[in-house]
Chains A and B, each alone.
Chain A
Amino acid sequence: MRVPLSWLREYVDLPATETGRDVQAKLVSAGLEVETVEQLGAGLKGPLVVGKVLTIEELEGFKKPIRFCTVDVGTANGTGEPQEIVCGARNFSVGDKVVVVLPGAVLPGDFAISARKTYGKTSHGMICSGDELGMGDDGSGGIIVLPPEHEAGTDAIELLELVDEVLDIAVTPDRGYCLSMRGVARETATAYGLPLRDPALLDVPAPNSFGYPVQISDPTGCDRFTARTVTGLRPDARSPIWLRRRLQKAGMRPISLAVDVTNYVMLELGQPLHAYDRSRVQGAIGVRRAEQGEKFTTLDGAQRVLDAEDLVITDDRGAIGLAGVMGGANTEIADHAEEQGTTDVVIEAAHFDPVSVARTARRHKLSSEAAKRFERGVDPQAASAAAQRTVDLLVLLAGGTAEAGVTEVIAPSAPHTITMPADHPDKVAGVAYGRETVVRRLQQVGCDVYGQDSLTVTVPSWRPDLAEINDLAEEVIRLEGYENLPSTLPKPPAGRGLTERQRLHRRVGRALAGAGYVEAPNYPFVSEQVFDQLGLDNDDPNRRVVKLVNPLSDEEPALRTTLLPGLLATLRRNDGRGSHDLALFETGLVFHPREETVRAENPPVDRRPTDEEIAALNAALPEQPRHAAVVLTGAREQAGWWGKGRPADWADAVEAARTVAREAGAELIVQQGQYGPWHPGRCAELCVFLEHADGVAADGSEGEIVVIGHAGELHPRVIKALGLPARTCAMELNLDVLAEAGEGTLRAPRISAFPVATQDVALVVDQDVPAAVVEAFLRDGAGELLEDIRLFDVFTGEQLGEGKKSLAYALRFRAADRTLTVDEASAARDAAVARAAEVTGAVLRGA
């Protein structure tokens, strides 16, 4: 809502010194969001005067038509001689009154005017358009032509009210009444403690039976309809300057007198109005719901197919208006310039159901000034005053005659009354306002208030948003000033801190960052083609995706089932920007449709949903486990003065998984794997052992090994398809399952102070025997004396034979209660080797 300060002063006697910024501050603290205060005519300096065009000489030989004019500007130029001005506009004739800016003046935008040579003549000033004066669009498409009654030489700055301040207010959905000068004036009057001149307080004739016939067949959709008729309008009557200027300042374009007047009254009182050309309405006006599929052309020329919920205004032929949204082309007021100008109009001032209007406006993607107001609630009591005001203005400005017939169809309704404890606002605010203040503030809002400890509050007709006691509390608190609220702290009960899960998520982030990874959270939107690029099988479960109805990009309509697409895109982006050594990580949700869902119904909102209802809602949602992933490329260790660097490789990716698992306190089982995105020979399958939730299973097992992810080097085909640097590596795992596998409270190890006995063994095994398996059985065979085992060398060579490798381990033995003898340590080592040999076929090297 754009509110010109000069207009606002008509309803509230603000001190003359108050600026727009002062009023802004007052209204902001009263709860109106005044976004800007526009300074109209800032920097404007005269002389800017009314001129009468005396002569026009068409200049030939230029690319566009140019006129050389002489203009009578009275004595404004000091000489009284005609002013010579060159002008490129053509929408004026000899004798027209125009606006002339003379040399020495400054127009908005620091545009200084001086005499200058142009088109072979000297132009002593300029004939102005609305744009040049900062007036906004006046619909003229050229320079301003003034009504003839203004004298040449008159100051146009004052005449056109060029200097003003305009408050631009973003009106929240609950304050529909502030979409009117009346509403903003009421808030201003309250904020300043000044009386309000309510423009809706008009003498209105009583309804009678000889007004224009109106039939309401849907009184819930339309609970009030006032119709008035004005005849004998001068078809050539134009809106006076003051009215056009107010519309322009409020952001509307002047169109024709009848339309301008209805818009003006809407801005003033907040009541949307419609003027029908009576000669084009056939029979009684009706209000009904549309037929499904009914066709109708609105004022904007668009043909609409109506829905059975749309409320329409009709005459004998059918729809003539989309109620509260937009009128029809078939009864449009004819422009004064046309031959068949409108002389008789029927004025509609009605009240429509906000929800119905909102739905219709949304359904037809048709937001109008009227719909905006009806959606937020219009004062039904203002309808007859608004109709009267429109009639008065038409009579005054277009010489019409008000017909005596007054139609008012009103569905009876009682005013809304709320019972509220007098101290409720105090309790909401935490401030002791006291009953007196509460009552006074509610009365300022327009409420009738009765009662002592319990107040009976009748809310004013323009405040349909006041429905509950907290709404009333808000009115009191905001008028007393939110800025005056004290600052206190509640005392919550003792807290429990973060959950185990939350702590784990933080630890994982810190551990990966500590290992050199940079966190990169990515959008979850993916294309389905990316699964082809990742080399997933056709039946891979990760191809089952949750899709969006309205994705931002049609290329990426799905939600991720894996973090890799986003992370790899970010890796590529960084690489493209010149960062080639990269280690990135992300933890976040992925989304999997459930195997089957039952479509639930929405529970009501007037009670807590039952556990069954909640379970049904949750069952309608996809699974949303949290994953952790890393991607790497380039150097993992930089080359430098210390020596050579080391490229990132598959082992770093596996190590990242171990890092995450360590934070979860889970034992990670790493085995050879094969999965789409990864290099088939360099892919680790990441597993954990999960205990059965309910103890030992029927087959005697205590749990099962579950695959939670993969790590390694990416497949060359994937690298090519996604345009990644060669040898890019990646790891991804399911953090939720990993967390499940985590140990509870750690039991401290027993530390022996006896000396360690170290024994090295080198075992020769087949190439395809995993080192982890050899180690597992060495451990198994070594028994409890084994403190630690470390693989310190892997060797292949001719002397070992084809397809063999040598694994060298350092075994550290120690006893808790004594120094081990060499024999004891050797016996343990031999047992370890024997066990490994038995299972893996390992042979002691050199044996």
Chain B
Amino acid sequence: MSAPNKSYDPVEVEALKPEEIERMRDEALAAFAAAADLDQLQEAKTAHTGGTSPLALANREIGALPPQAKADAGKRVGMARGAVNKALAARQAELEAERDARVLVEEAVDVSLPHDRVPAGARHPLTTLSERIEDIFVAMGYAVAEGPEVEAEWFNFDALNIGADHPARGEQDTFFVDAASLGAPAAGAEGVEVVLRTHTSPVQVRSLIDREPPVYVICPGRVYRTDELDATHTPVFHQVELLAVDEGLTMADLKGTLDHMVQELFGGEGMKTRLRPNFFPFTEPSAEMDMVCYVCRGESVGNPDRPCRTCSSEGWIELGGCGMVNPKVLAACGVDPEKYSGFAFGFGIERMLMFRHNVEDMRDMVEGDVRFTRPFGMEI
């Protein structure tokens, strides 16, 4: 940097001569124009606008000028730098546009290439459908209750008013556990029988015993019956049961709860349920429950032109059993039937999965073939 000099004449300072400044400006403009791509422009930018570029150096000389000369020189240099920056920005935009139009096009790839480096996993639809049903009721304030799969007969049968002579206790339905294999003392000794639970109802019993009313629980889980596996049966299957015990509960509440469930699960207008009288030992009154066919919504009934495969043009799909909890069950669980009433229902998840997702063969849900499960993903 030059030292201040009182007798200083800017015209005599080489770098600040007007023609010098013009030359610097023109060289910069020429260099920008000559830059063929963004990299060359970057070089030209450094050379002509950087800290050591001629114009930058000339600019520094201004500080050494006497005050009366500063304004004039400053104006000249400033105008030149302005012109240079403007040209740079223009060329930059020009070259970027060119790159966007050409280079990026040349870099194009085939984005349709497959990318299955690690194929996606999936949860089993029986799991996720069960969870979906649980969530409907959890949102209403119900708790999810679970219990053992190997269960004492008292919970599975006796407490549910299924007396010792009920056919369901015969061997044709129930898996019985060999007491000796449980490490029980003295073979032949009288004692409780242990079974694979035939329904999730023992969880209802446990819930009533463990909790004070009001009790609102949903009981999902695996259950067992001695059926051979075929297209429509499996010895191991899944149920969801619901139990509500409170003061003043009615069959209308049962119906409303069922209606709400099918509306949530199948959506849309017109989803509702129908009750038909039936008999179960653990409920009185008891009913069979049907839901409107979610595919044809009943339109196929008496309409041969529009047959429905889902409901065989019946208009209704059988869902499961339900009813008002038998007061004897309440008593066995220590709940005062004079004060409380309750309702319960239960149905099989496999069946619902079959008609909700057009599964044709029970075995597909049992065999664990990844081609079946994978498309169901994380939720259903």
Contacts and interface: CB of A to CB of B under 8 A. Distances in A.
A627 to B, nearest CB: 13
Contact of B226 (A470, A471, A510, A552): A552
A597 B333 contact: no
A416 interface: no
B334 interface: yes
Nearest to A616: B192
Interface string A239-277: 000000000000000000000000000000000000000
Contacts of A596: 183, 185
B333 A478 contact: no
B308 to A, nearest CB: 18
B159 interface: yes
Contacts of B120: 513, 516
Secondary structure at the A interface, as helix, strand, loop or mixed, is: loop
A495 B251 contact: no
Contacts of B222: 521, 588
A558 B196 CA distance: 12
Nearest to A506: B131
In this complex, the member of B161, B244, B366 whose beta carbon has the largest number of chain A beta carbons within 10 angstroms is: B366
Contacts of A468: 284, 327-328
B286 interface: yes
Given A487-B255, A506-B131, A516 B277 contact: no
B62 to A, nearest CB: 39
Given A579-B370, A583-B121, A607 B246 contact: no
A740 interface: no
A305 interface: no
Interface in A175-209: 175
A529 interface: no
B192 A548 contact: no
Given A355-B165, A552-B226, A614-B209, A547 B178 contact: yes
Given A513-B122, A523-B235, A638 B131 contact: no
A515 interface: yes
B230 interface: no
Interface string A598-622: 1111110111110000100110111
A543 B259 CA distance: 48
A602 B192 contact: yes
B285 A473 contact: yes
A546 B181 contact: yes
A482 interface: yes
A570 interface: yes
A482 B276 contact: yes
A620 B191 contact: yes
Nearest to B134: A498
B126 interface: yes
B250 A427 contact: yes
B275 A559 contact: no
B1 to A, nearest CB: 34
Contacts of B170: 362
Interface stretch (B11-19, B37-45, B82-90, B109-117): B109-117
B127 A494 contact: no
A492 B373 contact: no
Contacts of B324: 428, 470
Contact of A620 (B171, B182, B331): B182
Interface in B319-333: 324, 326-328, 331-333
B124 A470 contact: no
A545 B180 CA distance: 10
A493 interface: yes
B177 A546 contact: yes
Interface in B224-271: 226, 228, 235-236, 244, 246, 248-253, 255-257, 259-260
A619 to B, nearest CB: 10
A599 B284 contact: no
Contact of A640 (B116, B275, B276): B116
Interface string B264-300: 0000000010111111000011111000000000000
Nearest to B377: A513
B176 interface: yes
Contacts of B334: 607-608
A488 B324 CA distance: 15
Contact of A431 (B142, B178, B252, B287): B252
Interface stretch (A29-37, A118-126, A441-449, A837-845): A29-37
B22 interface: no
Given A495-B140, A624-B149, A516 B192 contact: no
A548 B368 contact: no
Contacts of B148: 589, 621, 624
Given A488-B252, A510-B378, A597-B182, A605 B176 contact: no
A85 B42 CA distance: 111
Interface residues of B, number: 109
B119 A581 contact: yes
A496 B177 contact: no
A574 B171 CA distance: 34
B151 A621 contact: yes
Contact of A509 (B123, B141, B181): B123
A430 B253 contact: yes
Interface residues of A, number: 112
Contact of B378 (A485, A513, A606): A513
A552 B326 CA distance: 33
B154 interface: yes
A495 B256 CA distance: 19
A636 B341 CA distance: 55
A607 B182 contact: no
A506 to B, nearest CB: 7
Nearest to A546: B181
A818 interface: no
B133 interface: no
Nearest to A582: B370
Given A513-B378, A570-B368, A574-B368, A547 B327 contact: no
A524 interface: yes
A172 B118 CA distance: 54
Contact of A617 (B152, B161, B190, B253): B152
B369 interface: yes
B144 interface: yes
Contacts of B236: 523-524
Contacts of B378: 510, 513-514
Given A510-B378, A521-B368, A594-B182, A487 B121 contact: no
Nearest to B234: A523
Contacts of B31: none
Given A520-B124, A520-B373, A521-B126, A603 B367 contact: no
Contacts of A172: 278-279
Interface string A475-500: 00110001101111110111111110
B354 interface: no
B345 interface: no
Contact of A483 (B151, B152, B275): B275
B179 interface: yes
A574 B368 CA distance: 8
Contacts of A80: none
Contacts of A28: 276
20 contacts: A359-B165, A482-B277, A485-B275, A488-B252, A490-B249, A492-B141, A492-B216, A498-B134, A516-B118, A519-B127, A547-B178, A548-B196, A574-B368, A594-B182, A599-B189, A599-B191, A607-B331, A617-B192, A621-B152, A640-B117
Given A28-B276, A516-B120, A638-B117, 7 more contacts: A362-B167, A473-B285, A482-B274, A492-B140, A521-B127, A546-B177, A609-B154
- Minimum-distance CB pairs A-B, first 8: A608-B334, A31-B277, A430-B250, A599-B191, A430-B252, A520-B368, A474-B285, A172-B279
Interface of B: 113-124, 126-127, 131, 134, 138, 140-144, 146, 148-155, 158-159, 161, 165, 167, 170-171, 175-186, 189-192, 194, 196, 209, 214, 216, 222, 226, 228, 235-236, 244, 246, 248-253, 255-257, 259-260, 272, 274-279, 284-288, 324, 326-328, 331-335, 341, 366-371, 373-374, 377-378
